Amino acid sequence: MIDATALSEKPVLTGARVRLAPLSIRHAAAFHASCLDPEIRRLTGTHHDFTREEIQAWCAGSADRTDRLDLAVEDRETGAFLGELALSQIDPPNANGSFRIALVPDATGRGIGSEATRLLLDYAFDRVGLHRVQLEVFDYNPRARRAYEKCGFEVEGRMRDALFWDGTWHDVFVMAALRSRRPGGAGRGNGAEPPAGPRPSLSDSPR
């Protein structure tokens, strides 16, 4: 049995270098700017052109969503916005959920994504009580795939030609982490980070 109240609590999770804080309207401007970045759009497979108003509305309503968790990745010392991540599509009977993360370009290459991922995985397993957390990553993002593997995710399958980007069809890898196979504790950075993961549709998230 999972504890669904853990999704509505909107916790603050603190690691050695980052703080995961509830996504709110104060993050909207930086969040929207990241949605305009061509490389972030490519790594997340974002076709939709999100407006500032759409992002503001999403951030403002984050606290009221009791079926998912959306957190901003912040620099622990300065509070600067480094990206955002989400735990969503929760399946209570089967204790499953989906994960994604997207960092701003300046935050990559420093192990920030790994630390943030581990913090959220620990919360998903220990507090929410999930057994399995799933993500998707595109075939042209091998760095993210390797980084996810170091955080405990394993490739479970491949969806062929599931993304059409820049005139070409691409495969999508399905990866998952299991509570019974978790490699370590929260915040233990290893120098690699998943820079981004696919963004669901607007009905689920602005990513």
> pLDDT of 70-88, one tens digit each?
999 999 999 999 999 999 9
Q: Is the pLDDT of residue 61 over 90?
A: yes
**What pLDDT score does 199 carry?**
46
Alpha-carbon Rg for the chain, nearest whole angstrom, is 16
For tokens 């981004």, name the residue.
Answer: 196
Confirm if 137 and 145 have CB atoms less than 8 A apart. yes
**What pLDDT score does 162 carry?**
98
Nearest to 40 by CA among 52, 30, 28: 30
> pLDDT of 1-51, one tens digit each?
899 899 999 999 999 999 999 999 999 999 999 999 999 999 999 999 999
* The two structure tokens encoding residue 138: 């595109």
**What pLDDT score does 75 carry?**
97
Q: Is the pLDDT of residue 66 over 50?
A: yes
Q: How far apart are the first and last CA of the chain?
A: 28
pLDDT band at 110 (very low <50, low <70, confident <90, very high): confident
Q: Is the pLDDT of residue 189 over 80?
A: no
Under the phi-then-psi rule, with left for phi > 0, alpha for psi from -120 to 50, and beta for the rest, what region is 71?
Answer: beta
What's the rounded mean pLDDT across residues 179-204?
A: 51
Q: Is the pLDDT of residue 198 over 90?
A: no
What is the distance between the alpha carbons of residues 144 and 116, in angstroms, rounded to a whole number?
14
Report helix, strand or coil for 74.
strand
* The two structure tokens encoding residue 18: 């980052």
